[in-house]
Amino acid sequence: MKNIEVVILANSVKHHQHCVAGKCIANGQWVRPVSNTDGGELSHAQALCKNPYGQFNVKPLQKVIMSFSTHAPLSHQPENYVIDGSVWRQNFGISVGELDNYLDTPNDIWGGIDRVSHASIVSGYIAIEQSLYLIAVESLHLYKNQFDRRRASFSYRGNNYDLAVTDPNFDRIIQNNEVPKGILCVSLGEEYQGNCFKLVATIF
């Protein structure tokens, strides 16, 4: 699969490396580039894109042309595509104001709590049709809990959520007292102690 143009909606932290995701410009479908068929994170070098000024880590809102060796869906992450090692190329980007054109509108975020049982997914009791959402939320509050963990609480369609945050810009947003637009990229993470936790990958 060559030269797929993707608008980047997340470059979050995963095992101290990168979890990149975005939507294909051509069809609006989510794409999660991974390093192997097990859904492995991307290294710093693998998450670079080239523009006229050099090579830099991809950032949300950029449009990037990339290619993949194979589609490698997992039961909890059906959008996974294995990178083929070619250099990604930046092709301009979108503005924050254009994010409304890329929003998802699920009834809820894989249920009403902060995790989904991995066994329920594998067994087919819970079907994960997509493991990424770009959603507009209300009452967004960013904070660190008593364990110094980055968290986001918010309301979406009548449900209240409190989720871990993997957006590397979290500290900057807090320290600068920035006021986010209230759009989040939310991802279903890998299996951990029997569950797939819901993560806030990007705060817009």
> Residue 51: which of 92, 10, 112 has the closest Cα?
92
Question: For residue 121, what are its two tokens?
Answer: 């997914």
For residues 94 and 62, what is the distance between their CA atoms, to the nearest angstrom?
A: 6
For residues 175 and 137, what is the distance between their CA atoms, to the nearest angstrom?
A: 22
pLDDT of residue 139: 98
- Whether the pLDDT of residue 1 is over 90: the answer is no
pLDDT averaged over the chain?
A: 97
**Phi, psi values for residue 78, rounded to 5°:** -75, -10
For residues 72 and 63, what is the distance between their CA atoms, to the nearest angstrom?
A: 22
Region 55-77: what's the mean pLDDT? 97
53: left (phi over 0), alpha (psi -120 to 50) or beta: alpha
For the segment 8-62, what is each residue's pLDDT rounded down to a tens digit? 999 999 989 999 999 999 999 999 999 999 999 999 999 999 999 999 999 999 9
The share of the chain scoring above pLDDT 70, in percent, equals 100
Region 144-158: what's the mean pLDDT? 97
- Whether the pLDDT of residue 149 is over 90: the answer is yes
Region 153-172: what's the mean pLDDT? 97
Please name the residue ranges forming H helices in 11-136: 118-122
Q: Would you give the distance in Å from CA 113 to the centre of its chain?
A: 18
> Residue 183: which of 103, 110, 107 has the closest Cα?
103
Q: Would you give the distance in Å from CA 104 to the centre of its chain?
A: 13
- Residues paired with residue 54 on neighbouring β-strands, in sequence order: 51
pLDDT of residue 167: 98
Amino acid residing at 72: A
- Whether the pLDDT of residue 172 is over 90: the answer is yes
Confidence of residue 154 (pLDDT cuts 50, 70, 90): very high
pLDDT of residue 56: 96
CA distances from 190 to 10, 42, 71, 130 (A): 16, 14, 17, 13
pLDDT of residue 148: 96
Structural Rg of the chain based on CA atoms: 16
pLDDT of residue 2: 84
CA distances from 152 to 2, 53, 72, 110, 149 (A): 36, 35, 30, 17, 10
pLDDT of residue 187: 98
